[in-house]
Amino acid sequence: GYRLWLKYDPIDNADVQQAYRQHAANWFVAGNSATTQVIKDELDFALKGLLGEASATDAESAGLIVAAGDNATVYRQKLKIETADLGDEGYLIQQVRWQNKPRLVVLANTDVGALYGTFHLLRLMQTQQNLENVALRSAPKTQLRVLNHWDNLDRHVERGYAGQSIWDWHKLPDYRYQRYFDYARANASVGINGTVLNNVNADPLILTSQYLDKVKALADIFRPYGIKVYLSVKFSSPQLIGGLKSSDPLDKKVQAWWKNKADEIYQAIPDFGGFLVKANSEGQPGPGDFGRTHAQGANMLAQALAPHGGVVMWRAFVYANEKNEERSKQAYSEFKPLDGKFDDNVLVQVKNGPIDFQPREPVNALFGATPQTPLMMEFQITMEYLGFSTHFVYLGPMYEEVLKTDTFAKGKGSTVASVIDGELYDYPITGMAGVANIGTDRNWTGHIMLQSNWYVFGRMAWNPSISSATVADEWVRMTLSNDNEVVTKVKDMMMASHEATVNYMTPLGLHHIMGAGHHYGPAPWVDSLGRADWNSVYYHQANSKGIGFDRSPSGVNAVEQYFSPLKEEYANPATTPEKYLLWFHHLPWEYNVASSGRTLWSEIVHRYYQGANTVKEMANTWDSLEGKIDPWQFHQVQMAMTIQQKEAIWWRNACVLYFQQFAELPIPEGLEKPE
């Protein structure tokens, strides 16, 4: 699994391979930059793998020409091809006639654009697409496409399930693992252009000169791949490592400390990306400690970074018991009034849902609510609430559901995607972050199928409108096989996997009923943690009458934060999408669920059973592919599916039996008894 989706095994279809040889067996990459060297290395490695033989040659005899910037001028002019609209990172791939010979050209305005184009071309070949008369253009729709590593400096990864942190701080800056380069290749291949190296629960030591030397080493490795390095910073760093008495953002000494720190960083890393900040959230320090707002805190950092072109990604994941407001409403309440108060180089980074990366949540009401503040999406790729690295859950459909959600912020069609990509409000900066699922495990993500979540995150950050099914298709072809049976079956499994897990964990809008602290396995009974909004019983509110959290106007009225008509839709159980039913409403066990005609009790139980059954079917489907997939990959997934099958039943039985105590109703006819 180490090679991820960049396996480059020989193309098993002789006709296809023959056709590709004509285009790409002899290739030419113009230029001598570090990035063009990366392109040359990748083409050499990939084409030798895919085609058996391939070699670099000169422009005259090459079937494939890759050129960018000034090196591409001659092609642009003679072939009359425009590239201005491709921007700094876009590219085109086209079949042309050049000096009387058919050629494939990959053209871009920058070498990094050409690198992205090269990876796209290789993807077309890995997935065996027809290259005759190919003519495509692509440019990213968001600017910052970044991974967030929740990696501690001692190499423990918070919510990481794939081994240790891949950053070996002890051996940096001198020891440069091949894995660092392969990480950069994998990211570049899906268009990821930034990485936040350390946990948002940040260790202040990251900003000491000792660590900055190490950060610089990684930044130097990643630069040719178009990847910028960012750091999570602790807001109280001026006190913790700077010897100051305060970290008040309005204190001149504090401002000067950050300015000097930024200058020091940029001295070493001229293209440093900027800071990610978790402030006044879950015990982290922040501007609130000094009576200042999130905007005042963010702007102070923004002003230190602005002269160098850096940005601040300020997280909206804030909630506190003391606020006396229901948790799902707090991000909106805190940040909506600050719209317009942030400096130009600040983005507010919002988790997709209003609570916390639950298997399913409605979107955070902040999306669309801040015309003057760029909102950046934060998706979780690591599987904190979705079975760690033992459950096969493809997140593409979940990301797609979120991005396609219409916020109605400026009327119909105001999708979350259009907020994020800046189209709706013309945001000056745009971005999407994904909390990485990467670790030192040989297969990077602990479970081969979960590599697809890293992959789909990158593809959707580049193009938030791409369909998760398209991405699943290409990922399977690149990672597992181009065999039709494998592609069809695995793709179907992937597309069904998220809904299945929602069903056996938290159907119909249930949420936050997992094990306390570690977040693994079912624990709807948790009721004694220090704060109400950490307990499961607080979220499901099951009692003898019914179940669900009333966020409608008769309850905490979280629905008021949404735009009309969502506000009205979510206020009424009859018009609330069933997938969010118990998120917004507390309903009687006898409530009639429209889609099935079942009572709420019966529907909940059926969903739990359906989820577990789907996993069983997935496991059977997987078994049927033995011999058609690399045996190592096959067995890894098969073993994990054994765990997942057991645990789907564990979730099902635990939740059904627990809720039955309140409902006092029998298990519906036809379903085996839970134990």
Say whether residue 149 binds ligand GCW (CB under 6 A): no
Residues 360-399 that bind ligand GCW (CB under 6 A): 384
Cβ at position 523, least distance to ligand GCW in Å: 14
Say whether residue 158 binds ligand GCW (CB under 6 A): yes
Range 270-273 contact pairs with CB under 8 angstroms and sequence separation of 24 or more: 270/308, 271/219, 271/223, 271/228, 272/219, 272/228, 272/229, 272/230, 272/308, 272/310, 273/144, 273/146, 273/194, 273/228, 273/229, 273/230, 273/310, 273/311
Q: Which member of 70, 282, 344, 626 is catalytic?
A: 282
Binder among 200, 217, 311, 450 for ligand GCW (CB under 6 A)? 200
Q: Which member of 384, 421, 473, 499 is catalytic?
A: 384
Say whether residue 150 binds ligand GCW (CB under 6 A): yes
Residue where the block lists tokens 């564990």: 650
Q: Which residue is nearest to ligand GCW (CB)?
A: 356
Instruction: Return the number of the residue (134 or 320) whose C-beta is nearest ligand GCW.
Output: 320
Say whether residue 533 binds ligand GCW (CB under 6 A): no
Residue 200: closest CA among 100, 48, 313, 288:
313
- Distance, in Å, from the CA atom of 224 to the CA atom of 185, rounded to the nearest integer, reads 10
Say whether residue 306 binds ligand GCW (CB under 6 A): no
Q: Burial level of 347, CB count in 10 A (0-12/13-18/19+)?
A: buried
Instruction: Return the number of the residue (384 or 550) whose C-beta is nearest ligand GCW.
Output: 384
Say whether residue 317 binds ligand GCW (CB under 6 A): yes
Say whether residue 645 binds ligand GCW (CB under 6 A): no
- Distance, in Å, from the CA atom of 9 to the CA atom of 126, rounded to the nearest integer, reads 8
Instruction: Return the number of the residue (21 or 149) whose C-beta is nearest ligand GCW.
Output: 149
Q: Show the site string, 586-625: x = touches ligand GCW by CB under 6 A, - = not.
A: ----------------------------------------
Residue where the block lists tokens 């009790």: 601
Query: What's the distance, Cα to Cα, between the start and end of the chain in Å?
Result: 37
Say whether residue 159 binds ligand GCW (CB under 6 A): yes
Cβ at position 201, least distance to ligand GCW in Å: 5
Q: Is there a contact between 397 and 388 (Cβ–Cβ < 8 Å)?
A: no
Residues 321-360 that bind ligand GCW (CB under 6 A): 356-357
Sign, CA dihedral 465-466-469-471, equals: negative
Q: Is there a contact between 640 and 392 (Cβ–Cβ < 8 Å)?
A: yes
Q: Which member of 248, 326, 356, 406 is catalytic?
A: 356
Say whether residue 278 binds ligand GCW (CB under 6 A): yes
Q: Burial level of 208, CB count in 10 A (0-12/13-18/19+)?
A: middle
- Distance, in Å, from the CA atom of 596 to the CA atom of 605, rounded to the nearest integer, reads 13
User: Which ranges in 523-630 belong to alpha helices (H)?
Assistant: 536-540, 566-571, 581-584, 600-623
590 an active-site residue? no
Cβ at position 598, least distance to ligand GCW in Å: 33
Cβ at position 20, least distance to ligand GCW in Å: 44
Instruction: Return the number of the residue (318 or 487) whose C-beta is nearest ligand GCW.
Output: 318
Q: In what order do the strands lie in the sheet with 101-108?
A: 55-56, 26-29, 64-68, 101-108, 91-98, 135-138
Instruction: Return the number of the residue (152 or 497) whose C-beta is nearest ligand GCW.
Output: 152
603 an active-site residue? no
Instruction: Return the number of the residue (125 or 301) whose C-beta is nearest ligand GCW.
Output: 301
Residue 515 identity (one-letter amino acid): G
Binder among 17, 94, 164, 201 for ligand GCW (CB under 6 A)? 201
Sign, CA dihedral 88-94-97-102, equals: positive
384 an active-site residue? yes
Residues 40-99 that bind ligand GCW (CB under 6 A): none
Instruction: Return the number of the residue (30 or 348) whose C-beta is nearest ligand GCW.
Output: 348
Going by their DSSP bridges, the two strands 311-315 and 91-98 should be labelled as unpaired
The count of residues interacting with ligand GCW (CB under 6 A) is: 11
Catalytic (active-site) positions: 282, 356, 384
Binding interface with ligand GCW (CB under 6 A): 150, 158-159, 200-201, 278, 282, 317, 356-357, 384
